Chains A and B, each alone.
Chain A
Amino acid sequence: MKDLSARILNMAQMRGATYCDVRVVNRTVQTLGVKDSRVQEMVQQESQGFGVRVIADGAWGFAACSRDDYADVDATVNRALQNARASALTKTREVRLGQPEANKGVFRSAFKLDPFMVSMSDKINLLLKADSEMRRAKPKNVHLVTTSELVFVREEKTFASSEGAFIQQEIVESGCEIQALATNEAGEVQTRTWPWGRHQQTRGFEFVLEQQLVENAPRLTQEAVELLRADACPALDATTVILSGNQVALQVHESCGHPIELDRVLKQEASFAGTSFLTPEKLYHLQYGSEIVNLTADATTPGGLGTFGYDDEGVPAQRIEVVKDGRFVGYMTNRELATEMNLGRSNGTMRAESWNHLPLIRMTNINLLPGAWKLDDLIADTDDGIYFDTNRSWSIDDKRLNFQFGCELAWEIKGGKKTRLLKNPIYTGVTPIFWRGCDAICDEAEWVVWGTPRCGKGQPAQTIRTGHGASPARFRNVKVFSRS
């Protein structure tokens, strides 16, 4: 890798690049899936290649290729330079990167059980057992579709730059999901998922074992079936809601994580992902949430899906404050935009999906710091409200202000007790108003670093893995209704 990266850096500089970096990536993804008691999916995908990013004539260019013979390397470097010079035809300012980042280092994510050393037979048997447990709980009058999936990723990445950086990283991820989908003759469709969508961390197979897929499987079917005959969530203009930890995680992702991306703020994503309501004049001034709301962007969270050693500009992983005592205090930045906005050194959030993608500002682990409540105490403290659990649908506007989330199930809370299962629950709100209504957050015992492995952004579209530490939290004056 060192030879290839040195050759590319040399070629680019000799041909006029004033800055160049190269990432050489080898990525393996193993996916196993079972559906309705049958193996549906056993796939191993391997992808390798290199991406070259250059500045020439004061503008950016990027090119990537899966093949590394001399002719392809030569052509790819030329294409990156040609792209940069074409960008320069329209430039309105020169790209500036601030102080050089000449870091050297090695990072390996921690794991106890290498998931690629666990036999595929053992993995598929785990899924078949979980599937069997889901199907065992099926009543006769219900049509049931059961699915389960394991995903394992190993990414080996070498980064080198014309500023002297040379970094090697190896990141291993493990993810899992089981789901029971129940339908009845009335056309009702209900889903229960565990742990939530696909939960994933930068850990080994021990992460999958901790999720207790088999033990939780029968409950999923039972709950999906119960939901078929449950009452619909009532329509209320203002009520109290408690969100499960995984729903808080998605709420953080959509309404905090995306709007603090500085490229969105500066309209670089305006045509696709959109912009942000957190415009620069709001930094240090906006009361984003109540005083108990504290959020960080932390690429060092152990096991987080957004955890790494260095970003794809070679900047070390960092933990920054985003919201402190409810006040908005920080963006996620990169070298160019941190320089442009006089925000000091980049806080290291540039990541690309793989070798063939351009790094973008992406969420690391956007964490809502734990509060002091026990979940049981929080429910007992709620006289009249609704508990929402496990996301089912999510939608938010292009400025990340107006959101609407549907969950798989809800519980009515009356007099401090869960009293009635509710189906098809939806809540909606406006980001800062919603977070200012947060009056209780559960403690570390309930705090989980949830993984969101499918965060989309950019053109061409990129999917990145992000994490969100979160525990259940309570919000006042929330509008709720049912989809039905």
Chain B
Amino acid sequence: MLGHEKLEQLAEIALGHSKADQTEIVLRGTDTALSRFANNAIHQNIFESNVTARVRVILGKRTGVAESNDISPEGIKRAVDMARAIAQLQPENPQNARLPQPRAPQQIDAYAANTADCAPETRARVIEQICRPAAAQKWIAAGAFRTQAYELAVVTSLGTRVYHRGTRADLSAVIMNDAGTASGFASTASPDAREIDARAVAQRALDKAQRSLNPIALAPGEYTVVLEPEAVASALQYTAWHTFNALAVQEERSFVRGRRGEALFSPLVSVYDDGTDRAGFPLPFDYEGVPRQRVTFIAQGVAREVAYDTFTAQRDNVASTGHALPAPNLTGPLPQHLFLAPGAASQAELVAQVTRGILVTRFWYTRVVHPLHVMMTGLTRDGTFLIENGQVTLPVKNLRFTSSYLDIFKNTRAVGRETHLMYDERTEMSFRAPALVVDGFNFTGVTQ
């Protein structure tokens, strides 16, 4: 982490050196600490500090991009020269995107010093709160506690000058028996490490693990399911990617193409993306420096908007909603701050609505089978239970599903009132979601 002033200085060096028509400098700094535990002890304990400069230059209808983590003045200039050389070497692209005009984002304080400065001894004490109760009852705990500080600056030759810094803390745990035949998962996340409640995570994971002993095998088929927030987050992630992405719509592979305004989903479901909401991990602008707008994808079951970056917005002659990934980006605009609006029911009330069904703690190894329908396959993991007559009764062997994630939002029968914050480091997406009751979820296999 170098701070606002230093990042702007580096960006100015790059801009001053660039002779391109348009130039964009994206500077990202991260300090990541992560303590990983298994077999009731920390076995991996890391700290990583990195700063990268990504330079996009536009020469007429050509674009070149270079990235380097050599942030010396010479290194920054080399990256500019490399981007320019790359741009010069390519044929013209008639659809080459121009940089967006400057727009001022909200200033949001998302930085917690307690997270940024969290010492490894502190992380060890937090982890002990999970390992000790597990070991005391002859169970095995595994998991990770990460504390991360990050900063992002976007500076362009058109006048964009934006900076944001923030922090993330997230803790997850799997508690299992020695034979590996019973396990429970729990997690928590917050911008502020002081809000990480390790005892609650331990209690929840241990309770699920203990209740998972001696699971029964259920026959595959359609079941009503109570999906806990981790499973709902998986559905939000892939649906946002494949459905509420303007590029997917333009390429005719989104389910909502030509159907916006239609009541395609359950009236109980409202889904939106908001990079300025402090209930998530805010990042008030995207990787083009465009302020992130709140975009409503589903409003009480009705398909509404999709996310745009500058390229897709120029194609549709609309304004970017501030969902660009770092250029060049073949994925299209990506909602990275997803929310599913809560309902009114407690977890017990959700379960009470189910005569016969399955409670799912989380999904694992989810993969797209058919993008248009967001048809997915994956498995349940670390806490799968039978529900009978409104009560969780027996543990169930993990099940494979092959089912449309869109159908989750179509067939939602009830929405929980308690929401849970989650973060996926691979896609840098965060999710705040409640549990859902969903009818007709299709399980296609049973694990051994």
Cβ–Cβ contact A189 & B47, under 8 A: no
- CB of A82 within 8 A of chain B? yes
B67-75, B281-289, B411-419: which lies at the A interface? B67-75
> How many Å from the CB of A439 to the closest CB on chain B?
23
Take A46-B68, A145-B251, A404-B377 as given contacts and tell me if A65 and B49 are in contact as well, using a CB distance cutoff of 8 Å. Answer: yes
| Secondary structure class of chain B's binding surface, majority of residues | strand
B343 neighbours in A (Cβ, 8 Å): none
Range for the number of chain A residues in contact with chain B: 35 or more
- CB of A117 within 8 A of chain B? no
Select B252's contact among A62, A83, A85, A143, beta carbons within 8 Å.
Answer: A143
- CB of B367 within 8 A of chain A? yes
Select A40's contact among B128, B253, B328, B378, beta carbons within 8 Å.
Answer: B328
Cβ–Cβ contact B381 & A398, under 8 A: yes
Name the interface residues of A27-56: CB closer than 8 Å to any CB of B.
33, 35, 38-49
Cβ–Cβ contact A66 & B448, under 8 A: no
Cβ–Cβ contact B45 & A46, under 8 A: no
| Secondary structure class of chain A's binding surface, majority of residues | mixed
> How many Å from the CB of B382 to the closest CB on chain A?
8
> How many Å from the CB of A60 to the closest CB on chain B?
6
- CB of A284 within 8 A of chain B? no
Name the interface residues of A403-450: CB closer than 8 Å to any CB of B.
404, 406, 424, 426, 428, 430
Chain A residue at minimum C-beta to C-beta distance from B205: A271
Cβ–Cβ contact B330 & A41, under 8 A: yes
Take A143-B252, A267-B140 as given contacts and tell me if A82 and B127 are in contact as well, using a CB distance cutoff of 8 Å. Answer: no
Take A270-B140, A461-B426 as given contacts and tell me if A358 and B124 are in contact as well, using a CB distance cutoff of 8 Å. Answer: no
Cβ–Cβ contact A45 & B121, under 8 A: no
A119-127, A165-173, A307-315: which lies at the B interface? A119-127
Select B86's contact among A120, A426, A461, beta carbons within 8 Å.
Answer: A120
Select A83's contact among B46, B174, B372, beta carbons within 8 Å.
Answer: B46
B4-12, B32-40, B351-359: which lies at the A interface? B32-40
Complex Cα spacing A453 to B44, Å: 24
Chain B residue at minimum C-beta to C-beta distance from A121: B89
- CB of A150 within 8 A of chain B? no
Complex Cα spacing A393 to B401, Å: 13
B50 neighbours in A (Cβ, 8 Å): 49, 64-66, 356
Cβ–Cβ contact B37 & A395, under 8 A: no
Cβ–Cβ contact A395 & B379, under 8 A: yes
Take A40-B330, A183-B252 as given contacts and tell me if A46 and B38 are in contact as well, using a CB distance cutoff of 8 Å. Answer: no
A402 neighbours in B (Cβ, 8 Å): 379, 400, 445, 447-448
- CB of B234 within 8 A of chain A? no
> How many Å from the CB of B360 to the closest CB on chain A?
14
Take A42-B89, A65-B49 as given contacts and tell me if A48 and B70 are in contact as well, using a CB distance cutoff of 8 Å. Answer: yes
Complex Cα spacing A67 to B156, Å: 25
Cβ–Cβ contact B45 & A459, under 8 A: no
Take A38-B95, A90-B42, A397-B365 as given contacts and tell me if A189 and B370 are in contact as well, using a CB distance cutoff of 8 Å. Answer: yes
B326-347 vs A: 1/0 string, CB under 8 Å? 0010100000000000000000
Name the interface residues of B361-383: CB closer than 8 Å to any CB of A.
364-373, 375, 377-379, 381
B40-66 vs A: 1/0 string, CB under 8 Å? 111111111111100000000011111
Interface, chain A (partner B; CB < 8 A):
33, 35, 38-49, 59-67, 72, 76, 79-80, 82-87, 89-93, 119-121, 124, 128, 143, 145, 147, 181, 183, 187, 189, 266-272, 274-275, 279, 356-358, 392-399, 401-402, 404, 406, 424, 426, 428, 430, 456, 459-461, 483-484
A-B pairs with beta carbons under 8 Å apart, 20 shown: A33-B328, A38-B95, A40-B328, A42-B86, A48-B69, A48-B70, A64-B46, A64-B49, A67-B51, A82-B120, A83-B46, A86-B35, A87-B35, A89-B121, A271-B36, A358-B44, A395-B365, A395-B378, A404-B400, A461-B426
